Amino acid sequence: AEQSKRLITIDFAGTVHDALPWEFVPQQRRVIVGLGETALAFYRAKNKSDRPIIGVSVYHMIPAETGLYFNKIQCFCFDEQLINPGEEVDLPIFFFIDPMMGLDNRFDHVDRITLSYLFFESDSELPEEYEEFKKSLPSSNRPAVVSAPTPGLPVLAAA
């Protein structure tokens, strides 16, 4: 009965690789769950670029050993995420902490777990329908890219 009342604070963090033009933030700073209790949390991702991008995430837990007892029932991290230009999506994670953690004395001192995700661009190909969509756009509808040349880099002329 004592263990069923044990509460664990889950802190959420999110970052993106420097090369990925996305915003990615947890929609809640933390949740408090009892052992065995399911919880649903969300992250929000926004593609700030002008092209569809497939992203993939990796996670890190602190303390790392708590991963033995952190069970993801459903998670955006199971799949690559394709987000269209300017699109913003909510990404769920549905999880619970295995009650067996309460019986493992190595974790008697643990009352807080940090779950952090890092998103980076996948090298997967865009689905065919996206390639066809891009080809179907008249060139006049494509936005012009205007920028000053970077010093030291060659300037490429448009075809």
Q: Which domains does the chain have, with CATH numbers?
A: 3-127 (2.60.370.10)
Average pLDDT score over residue span 13-41:
96
Nearest to 133 by CA among 53, 56, 55, 52: 52
Q: What is the pLDDT of residues 53-68, one digit of tens each?
A: 999 999 999 999 999 9
* Tokens, residue 124: 């997967």
**pTM of the predicted protein model:** 0.76
